[in-house]
A and B are shown apart, each in its own frame.
Chain A
């Protein structure tokens, strides 16, 4: 062994974690995306578990579906709250619209995997095609959510008669239409608060996702990834997009089914 040697001596007995190799067999970017998603899972889990905790601290509406009226005394039945469709005013269509939204998001997740698969094959045309479909799905989902929010905020034709403490600290009994962070016609104040915060935080993630999808679509289309020699960015943005779908699966169950 020479004293001037600059090369690091490598023992052949060095194990997987001894350095000089990739024990997790994933690139830096992919690893960091995974750990970011893990921390994001905890954030969403905190939100959703809070929802569960507050949900079980109220009695649930137990009467007949036909005679349902919102009240801040009990938790509403989701299929009787989310039952409207755009352009079809007054039609009772429980959970149909949110079902369509779920379908759109799952479909965009599928086109995303197809884009990732095309990326593995360095097939630029397929990547661009599937990224465009995914982008379209993301934008459609966001538009649906905007309508859903708008309907939730404006409320139904009849509203509900509630007794509550208003913004001036007075105890009042009046008909409430729609929802805000103080009071809503559907259920306890925390029902609308949690709806706004959780679907809003999810929608914020989708919005960022749409920006990333566009970036990825653009870079793939102009050939940046070809120059770079690999399509790993499609994979990383794909991970994020599937995560958004994953969270929606839980939001759908907790908000719209339970």
Chain B
């Protein structure tokens, strides 16, 4: 039997420090946003303003993860839109179900 050859036949390219720096920078952003949310949870009054800020910051984080970590921004435009456009339907779902939930609230209390 032949011993498995574990030597690489592929050409290894040297590290692109700039790309790696960008990854760490994005990671720093994500942590900073999470920390900001953390501080806000304890210093601000609960209410519509705080909740809206939380949701905006969350979507902002999601954008960083999808664009930089998942490289969706670097994909071909048709693929990018095939993923992003269907998510618009979720906006409708959020609005309808929150309305439904608050109507149930009015009937119960």
Give A residues with C-beta under 8 Å from B: 23-26, 31, 34-35, 37-38, 41-42, 45-46, 49-50, 52-60, 77, 79, 94-95, 99, 102-103, 106-107, 109-110, 112-114, 117, 120-124, 126, 222-223, 226-227, 229, 238-239, 242-243, 245-246, 249-250, 252-253, 257-258
Contact = CB atoms under 8 A, between A and B. Distances in A.
Nearest to A98: B38
A215 B79 CA distance: 28
A95 B38 contact: yes
Central interface residue in B9, B37, B70, B109, by most chain A CB within 10 Å: B70
Interface string B7-22: 1111111111001100
Given A106-B30, A122-B11, A242-B65, 7 more contacts: A25-B76, A34-B79, A79-B42, A94-B42, A110-B26, A245-B69, A253-B58
Nearest to B31: A106
A37 B66 CA distance: 12
Given A24-B76, A106-B31, A117-B20, A57 B55 contact: no
B1 interface: no
| Interface of A: prevailing SS | helix
B79 A31 contact: yes
B83 interface: yes
Report whether over half of chain B's contact residues are helix, strand or loop; otherwise say mixed: helix
B90 A246 contact: no
Contacts of B97: 49-50, 52-53
Contacts of A243: 70
Q: Number of contact residues on B: which range applies?
A: 35 or more
Contact of A95 (B41, B58, B104): B41
B78 A23 contact: yes
Contacts of B42: 79, 94
A45 B79 CA distance: 21
Interface string B69-109: 11000011011001100110010011001101110110011
